[in-house]
Amino acid sequence: MIALDEPFLHSVKKRWIPPEMTTAPALDPNEPANGIEPHYALLINPFYAKDANASFGKHVLTPTLALTSFAAATPAHWRVDYWDENLLDGRPPFRPLPQVVGITVHLTFARRAYELADWYRARGVKVIFGGLHVLSCPDECAPHADALALGDGVQLWPRILRDLENNSLQPRYAATYENNYCDDPPPRRSILPRHSFLTTTSLIATRGCHNRCGFCYLATDGLRMPYRMRHPQQVVDEFQKDDQPYAVFIDNNLGSRRDYLHALCAALRPINKIWSAAVTIDVTDDPSLIRHMALAGCTGVFVGFESLSDDNLADAHKKTPKTSDYARRVRMLHDYGIQVNGSFVLGFDHDRKDVFARTADWIEENRLECATFHILTPYPATPLFQQMEAQGRVLHRDWTLYDTGHAVFQPKHMTPEELELGYAWIYQRLFSHASIWRRRPRVETWRDLQAIPLYLAMSYLYKRSNRFWHLLIKHDLVNPVWKPLVEMTRWRHVHYRKHVAERDAFTVETSAGAQSAVAPGQVVSAGV
């Protein structure tokens, strides 16, 4: 048991971080405006500062689909390039200058997006902004762009390019998320640098979520994202085409519609690949779904527990089972060899200074393989922001610090400094040797021992190897180095599935029935 005041007893060690992970690459103000290549579009994911407390691996796990999704709707006579400044290959290209630059803008990298936009526009390039921050703060974004895309880029991008060609570009374009998601083309993954990501297969099967938590970006004023699903076979075809052993579903909540997830699992099962996804813990209401996920290749889930306090969850309007039942539900996922990456938000109004030690204890007791922490952050235009502002608790509007690693509001029962200290402590605690060891898989038979070395390898590679990750990212080695490990995990998982299917043919389909299966050791983490 961790002492409740432990986070505040010792100073928290400063973590190593190279300057190129905290500072964006320089843009030369003296660079002349050389020739613009007509019908050349450059799409940019801007730089954001990394948090030394977390694993650098998370930034190259899988790419955002923001750019590749609408890139797929580019007319054939346009050339498209992709540039992610977070891959440490320097600033985006400028020789030749593109005719148009499309930038995805989130609040944490809005400032960098403006710098890039101003630089390209000063040289005659047209700049288009889209993404979450454009939707929540359009007036702030407008002075830096030639046009804003508010909403679904797949519908807007071809319209924008057509108007650009006709010299009739409008300052704002808007589209809803009401359309049939099955009509969208598959994301254009061919423009991605394949070596740079653990897997290039970021898949998205659904849009929206059945919840509308007050702190979530989905509750942004004016954003309506009804739950929409792609046809399971479309998802499977994309997975096959990208030719990777492992995919990460970037859906907000793949478990919102259980009938759909069952259908998706049925389509995924025959292809013998592995995947992970974000779901809410209520997927465990249906134990047969957990079994189906395992049989379809699910190796890990990212679960937004958010808090271990029912009062906090009620305040956030999150519909979720009682927190006292979380442990049983985690066990059900583990029983089917599914790793759990728990996501926790710190600093809610019922959190006191003991929240850090209590949360760490719970995670260790329940052997969550991974955990991700976020300081509560009132994103602009969400109900949480409106509430905090009305109460005079928003400390500033420096969006770069709205990265869930900084306290940007006045917490109720601690100071902002204490909240940041507790946040740094809990990451360091979970990345410590003691905590990694405490969370090793349960050993009930000697065969279970097999999972421990792989669990340790996974934990150390993801959690205590930031220098190694830096080298891999810098030298474009992420995929070449990881792919054999991922392939090994896939192979082991295919064997595990056979075992589960054979065993369950003779037992009743309950989570308890699964306990005799030997959990497959994995080197692929359910998150980093």
Q: Which is nearer to ligand SF4, 252 or 459 (CB)?
A: 252
Distance from C-alpha of 503 to C-alpha of 510, rounded to nearest angstrom: 12
Q: Is 205 in the site for ligand SF4 (CB under 6 A)?
A: no
Region from 55-63, 208-216, 346-354, 368-376 binding ligand SF4, contact rule CB under 6 A: 208-216
Handedness of CA 22, 307, 407, 142 (dihedral sign): positive
63, 366, 317, 301: which is closest to 199 by C-alpha? Answer: 63
Amino acid letter, residue 100: V
500, 499, 498, 490: which is closest to 521 by C-alpha? Answer: 490
Rounded to 5°, angle at Cα 472 from 467 and 476? 150
Q: Which is nearer to ligand SF4, 287 or 304 (CB)?
A: 304
Helix (H, G, I), strand (E, B) or coil at 526: coil
* Residue 304 binds which entry of ligand B12, ligand SF4, none, CB below 5-8 Å type-dependent: ligand SF4
* DSSP 8-state symbol, 50: P
Q: Which is nearer to ligand B12, 64 or 465 (CB)?
A: 64
* Smallest distance, ligand B12 to C-beta of residue 47, A: 9
* Smallest distance, ligand B12 to C-beta of residue 521, A: 24
Q: Is 53 in the site for ligand SF4 (CB under 6 A)?
A: no
Q: Read off the tokens for 489.
A: 């995990």
368, 402, 364, 379: which is closest to 527 by C-alpha? Answer: 368
* Chain position carrying tokens 């297969």: 201
Please compute Rg for the chain using Cα positions: 23
Q: Which is nearer to ligand SF4, 86 or 280 (CB)?
A: 280
* Smallest distance, ligand SF4 to C-beta of residue 475, A: 35
Q: Is 136 in the site for ligand SF4 (CB under 6 A)?
A: no
Q: Is 329 in the site for ligand SF4 (CB under 6 A)?
A: no
Residues with Cβ within 8 Å of residue 487, at least 6 apart in sequence: 245
Interaction with ligand SF4 in 232-271: which residues (CB under 6 A)?
Answer: 252-253
* Residue 66 binds which entry of ligand B12, ligand SF4, none, CB below 5-8 Å type-dependent: ligand B12
Q: Which is nearer to ligand SF4, 38 or 226 (CB)?
A: 226
Q: Is 212 in the site for ligand SF4 (CB under 6 A)?
A: yes
Which residue from 41, 72, 87, 216 is in contact with ligand SF4, where contact means CB under 6 A? 216
* Smallest distance, ligand B12 to C-beta of residue 121, A: 14
* Residue 253 binds which entry of ligand SF4, ligand B12, none, CB below 5-8 Å type-dependent: ligand SF4
Q: Is 323 in the site for ligand SF4 (CB under 6 A)?
A: no
Q: Which is nearer to ligand B12, 379 or 496 (CB)?
A: 379
DSSP E strands, 223-369:
228-229, 246-249, 274-279, 298-306, 339-346
Burial 56-68 (b: 16+ CB within 10 A, else e): bbbbbbbbebbbb
Which residue from 74, 276, 280, 511 is in contact with ligand SF4, where contact means CB under 6 A? 280
* Smallest distance, ligand B12 to C-beta of residue 149, A: 3
Q: Which is nearer to ligand SF4, 317 or 413 (CB)?
A: 317
**What are the CA-CA distances from residue 30 to residues 24, 27, 111, 119, 354 (Å)?**
18, 9, 21, 10, 53
Q: Is 284 in the site for ligand SF4 (CB under 6 A)?
A: no
262, 281, 397, 271: which is closest to 338 by C-alpha? Answer: 281
Q: Which is nearer to ligand B12, 2 or 355 (CB)?
A: 355
Helix (H, G, I), strand (E, B) or coil at 13: coil
Residue 404 and residue 378 in contact, taking contact as beta carbons nearer than 8 Å: no
Q: Which is nearer to ligand SF4, 136 or 280 (CB)?
A: 280
Q: Is 341 in the site for ligand SF4 (CB under 6 A)?
A: no
Binding site for ligand B12 (CB under 6 A): 45, 48, 58-59, 61, 64-66, 69-70, 102-104, 106-109, 128, 130-132, 149, 152-154, 156-157, 204, 216-217, 250, 252, 374, 379, 403-405
DSSP state letters, 454-511: HHHHHHHHHHS-HHHHHHHHHTT-HHHHHHHHHHHHHHHHHHHHHHHHHHHTTS-SST
Q: Which is nearer to ligand SF4, 212 or 438 (CB)?
A: 212
Residue 291 and residue 330 in contact, taking contact as beta carbons nearer than 8 Å: no
* Residue 212 binds which entry of ligand B12, ligand SF4, none, CB below 5-8 Å type-dependent: ligand SF4
Which residue from 69, 199, 211, 479 is in contact with ligand SF4, where contact means CB under 6 A? 211
Burial 319-350 (b: 16+ CB within 10 A, else e): ebbebeebeebbbbbbbbbbbbbbbbbbbbbe
* Smallest distance, ligand B12 to C-beta of residue 22, A: 12
Q: Is 293 in the site for ligand SF4 (CB under 6 A)?
A: no
Q: Which is nearer to ligand B12, 136 or 284 (CB)?
A: 136
* Residue 211 binds which entry of ligand B12, ligand SF4, none, CB below 5-8 Å type-dependent: ligand SF4
* Smallest distance, ligand SF4 to C-beta of residue 341, A: 14
Q: Which is nearer to ligand SF4, 317 or 438 (CB)?
A: 317
Distance from C-alpha of 189 to C-alpha of 252, rounded to nearest angstrom: 20
Residue 355 and residue 419 in contact, taking contact as beta carbons nearer than 8 Å: no
Q: Which residues bind ligand SF4 (CB under 6 A)?
A: 209, 211-213, 216, 218, 252-253, 280, 304, 318
